[in-house]
Chain A
Amino acid sequence: MADEPTPSYVAGEIPNGSVTAALIRDLEAAVGKRYVLSTPDELLLYEYDATIDRARPQIVVLPETAGQVAAAVRAARRFDMPVIPRGAGTGISGGALAATGGVVVALTRMRRIIEVDSENRIAIVEPGVVNLDLSKAVAKHGLYYAPDPSSQRACTIGGNVAENAGGPHTLAVGSTTNHVLGLELVLADGTVIWVGGRTRDLPGYDLAGAFVGSEGTLGIATKIAVRLMRMPESTRTLLAIFNRIDYASNAVSAIIAAGIVPSALEMMDRMIIHAVEQALHCGYPLDAEAVLLIEVDGLEESTAEQSEDIDRICRDSGAREVRLAVKQADRELLWAGRKSSLSALGRYFPNFYVLDGVVPRTRLVEVLRASNAVAEKYGLAVANVFHAGDGNLHPNLLFDERIPGTTVDVLQAGAEIMRLCVDAGGSITGEHGVGLEKRDFMAWLFDDADMAAMSSLKVAFAAGERFNPCKAFPTHRGCGEVSVANAQRVSARLGEDVYV
């Protein structure tokens, strides 16, 4: 392969004030004075994402069109400043933070749903469209947008594309990558192109597929063509209650092994059960060790058959009780505990650190056990609420950052749990991305040759290190010591009903 490009940014080489002032003038000319922010007060909101790590950009611009995005990117390039794309800032891997400073291009003003083609089940949206707003907008056609990250009331489709976001209902239908047909992109030199498109078999390499999940490092998505799905005629939700967490894990594998792929298959452990029960009184037995929330959808006949099978498999695996809900209101009741789990936890612990690891579904029992043991070793409380059906663990380490030394323990425990996932044949992230946080774990999964091949995409998109430098891959020379997220906090901005 051809030679490595050298990164063009070095931490600490932040341009001096007069350069910044000149750049601000150019940006104001491009997007209007109101939409260029540079005072410390204005920048405050953009120092964060949903991690509590922070990094301050020099400038934030809020363009309204692809043309304005392109102009902003060109201006930043003239002054050799990196560009950090940003959606709603709900990311939990530090992806939207300006790690080396630079210009944040916030896409929240680009929130038009440009077209809904209900017959062909396609929508073309701007990147700032909030995930749930798209599903709401197309509901009148009996359609919905399937990937439903738990942050869907706040997060943007652009951010979902960058992270290849998943959600409780991506088990059967796949993550964001399976629902994106094409993208309009602004590249590092300010050119605007499409990769992929509304028709499916466009000749050429699948660049749209390569872009999804690239964490804002290859370009800025300014339009997104997504696939919509038809709402199923019937949905059934089951809640299975277990006295042992192992039984619940075994039930997960048994359901999959029986050839049933539910639309959602979520697990909550004792800690979560207690938290939501006290907060909400949703009827979870306090002496249970785990509950599974399982949903199937499709034809009435299929969901009836599948829910019976699931009921039986859960009981055979040791469930002490299985509840079934068919009507929308009853189903929502079963989901209530799941959806409020994080805010419920927040009442008891000032901080929590959400991990995002993946293991083969057949290894859930042992990895959950081992991961809980790691938390115990560090004297940390842990609550598990996660996408069990695809082996996507979210251990939440609970702590109080005011107690000296705790944060270090949390980070250390988090790293050990990630390592457990890797050793079980899994991954360090199933949906939240590598970002700043897990860059240095990448070497557990990929060797230098793997990452060199991946870096060919940076060359292909001619992105260099202009977009979102120092993210997603192990720290290279230029990145210096960016302070890694020391803990996470679900920000109050997202409202009460957030859940992971």
Chain B
Amino acid sequence: MSEPTVASRVDDFVAAISQLQLHASGAQPFEIDGLESVVSVAPESLAQVQKCLTEAHSSALRVAAVGSGAHLQLGNIPEALDVALSTGRLHRIVAHEPADMTVTVEAGVRLADLQHALAEHGQFLPLDPPGADRATVGGILAANVSGPLRHRYGTARDWLLGTRVVHADGSTSKSGGRVVKNVSGYDMHKVYVGSLGTLAVITEVTFKLAPLPKVDCTLAIASPSAAAAQSIISAGHERGLAVIGAELLSPTAASAVCDRGAWTALLRIAGGGAAVARTLDELHDYAALAEGESAEVPGAWDRWRAVFGPADLSLRVSVAPSDAGSIAENLDRRFVGDAAQISATSTAGLVRINLAPADDARAPAIVDHVREIAVERGGVAIVDAAPLAVKQLIDVFGPPRSDIEIMRRLKQRLDPERLLSPGRFVGRI
């Protein structure tokens, strides 16, 4: 007897979940790297997510969890996509304990909505990745994306206290908890961060929160060189000034983000009034020393997030912080003809480069070239976005490292049938 076709398995699946009434026939199909989901479902409770995954599992359908779709360009091309499971209707804030500075949310809550609710209590979740206006909390976690606030606050893992997930077979488990300090059990939630949905579907998340700074302003210091702009960022960092975001922008990036046509240190200065005042004073001094011109640029971060969303070709280089400035400069010099825009969270050793090559055919060579530069300094380069034809030729993560076998066994154990976004992750897991 021949294997049932995908279409007939999808029919079985749709029939099996029909009593949930999730599958409105008009539901948007999702597309990942040219693959279109055959069916999309939008469950609104944990039990419904479980039911969907249980049925997808028994019909051997390949499932991709989708938040807002803000980060679907990440990862390698999946081998197959049958069901898109949207978390968009899992959008409750389950518990916010202002006096405890923790929040538990369903995965489909939009970060922007969450920030809005938290701000009423003078708190926030210090994450501000590109796409933050529409991205969901679960999507941000699964993609492990960060923004300028990383300079001061680190990444999602640093704020994560626990998760609930649904596994490929429809079973559910949790790890961590809702208190700010907890070492019971293995920290499974750490491996779900950045896993691009290849291990489980995240349904609920608990974070610790930070107090919103009382004063918050943004300074752009246009400087004669990358090194000069970087020296200002480094000085602020060394002095422990009240800087919560610090990006080194290439001239092209600076002109798009804050109307400067030079290497620019874009700084978010925040804290108590006196600390901010002193920080501004000192930064002006450092700016003068570096022959930079400083100006307050309100609204710059929204533009930054728009500019540094996915481009035709987007890469992320991770190196030692001390190398970030020179790598940014190097990349700018080499790829100026490809409309490169560069922004480095230099204190975290992260350099982002967005390009619009005139000819797609150049893209693989650019990727190789950037990767070479990163590897030379002991770092790595990851392709965050690329034209489909290019993605077909490369592994966006580059060659796996010595821990790949552990990752494969983890995948094998949690999703032995490889139903969750197969092929999308490192080493085509």
Contacts and interface: CB of A to CB of B under 8 A. Distances in A.
Given A2-B416, A198-B320, A299 B409 contact: no
Contacts of A433: 183
Contacts of A256: 99-101
Given A194-B402, A446-B174, A358 B188 contact: no
B193 A206 contact: yes
A253 B99 contact: yes
A442 B183 CA distance: 11
B216 to A, nearest CB: 13
A209 B157 contact: yes
B227 to A, nearest CB: 15
B181 A454 contact: no
A179 to B, nearest CB: 10
Nearest to B212: A259
Chain B CB within 10 Å, residue with most, of A206, A213, A429, A434: A206
Interface string A149-179: 0000000000000011010001000110110
Interface stretch (A40-48, A70-78, A311-319, A455-463): A455-463
B307 interface: no
A427 B158 contact: no
A121 B348 CA distance: 11
A305 B191 contact: no
Nearest to A361: B100
Interface in A455-493: 456-457, 459-462, 472-473
B409 A459 contact: yes
Interface in B140-186: 154-155, 157-158, 165, 167-169, 171-175, 177-186
Contact of B410 (A259, A260, A304, A457): A457
B413 A362 contact: no
A454 B414 CA distance: 10
Contacts of B407: 204-205, 207, 460
Interface string A357-381: 0111110000000000000000000
B365 interface: no
Contacts of A462: 406, 409
B380 A195 contact: no
Interface string A378-414: 0000000001001110000000000000000000000
B268 interface: no
Contacts of B173: 447, 449-450, 452-454
B191 A430 contact: no
Interface stretch (B4-12, B30-38, B271-279, B296-304): B271-279
Given A261-B210, A392-B181, A2 B413 contact: yes
Nearest to A357: B179
A442 B416 contact: no
A163 B183 contact: yes
Contacts of B239: 233
B414 A204 contact: no
Contact of A454 (B123, B185, B321): B185
Contacts of A431: 181, 183
B179 A200 contact: no
A301 B406 CA distance: 48
Contacts of B372: none
Contacts of A360: 97, 100, 102, 178-179
Interface in A105-146: 117, 119-122
Contacts of A119: 321-322
B413 A460 contact: yes
A304 B398 contact: no
A298 interface: yes
B179 A391 contact: yes
Given A360-B179, A454-B175, A460-B409, A298 B240 contact: yes
B184 A429 contact: yes
Contacts of B414: 1, 453, 456
Contacts of B97: 360, 362
Nearest to B317: A201
A350 interface: no
A2 B412 contact: yes
Contacts of B63: none
A376 B141 CA distance: 45
B316 interface: yes
A432 B101 CA distance: 23
A457 B380 contact: no
B23 interface: no
Contact of B380 (A203, A257, A452, A456): A203
Contacts of A210: 186-188, 190-191
A50 interface: no
Contacts of B191: 205-207, 209-210, 457
Interface in B326-383: 348-350, 378-380, 382
B218 interface: no
B210 A434 contact: no
A451 B165 CA distance: 13
Interface in B233-276: 238-242, 271-275
B190 A391 contact: no
Contact of A301 (B278, B398, B401): B278
Contacts of A212: 187
A446 B174 CA distance: 8
B195 interface: yes
Nearest to B210: A261
A282 B201 CA distance: 55
Nearest to A93: B183
Chain B CB within 10 Å, residue with most, of A122, A253, A453, A454: A453
B194 to A, nearest CB: 6
B224 interface: no
A203 B184 contact: no
Nearest to A205: B191
A22 interface: no
Given A198-B320, A209-B157, A358-B181, A450 B174 contact: yes
Contact of A390 (B180, B185, B426): B180
A230 B406 CA distance: 34
A16 interface: no
A383 B155 CA distance: 38
Given A360-B100, A446-B185, A462-B409, A426 B177 contact: yes
B272 A306 contact: yes
Contact of B240 (A121, A198, A230): A230
Nearest to B173: A453
B403 interface: yes
Contacts of A445: 177, 184-185
Contact of B187 (A177, A253, A306, A390): A177
Given A120-B320, A177-B187, A210-B188, A299 B275 contact: yes
A388 to B, nearest CB: 11
A178 B380 contact: no
A9 B180 CA distance: 35
A7 interface: no
Given A210-B188, A427-B177, A204 B416 contact: no
A291 interface: no
Contact of B318 (A174, A201, A230): A201
A67 to B, nearest CB: 16
Chain B CB within 10 Å, residue with most, of A1, A121, A434: A1
Nearest to A461: B406
B211 interface: yes
A358 B123 contact: no
B77 interface: no
Given A207-B403, A387-B181, A449 B158 contact: no
B121 to A, nearest CB: 9
A302 B380 contact: no
19 contacts: A117-B320, A199-B380, A201-B350, A207-B406, A210-B188, A233-B239, A259-B211, A298-B275, A301-B277, A387-B181, A426-B179, A427-B182, A429-B182, A431-B181, A434-B183, A453-B188, A454-B173, A454-B175, A460-B406
Given A119-B321, A202-B318, 8 more contacts: A202-B380, A204-B425, A256-B101, A259-B122, A432-B183, A454-B173, A460-B406, A472-B185
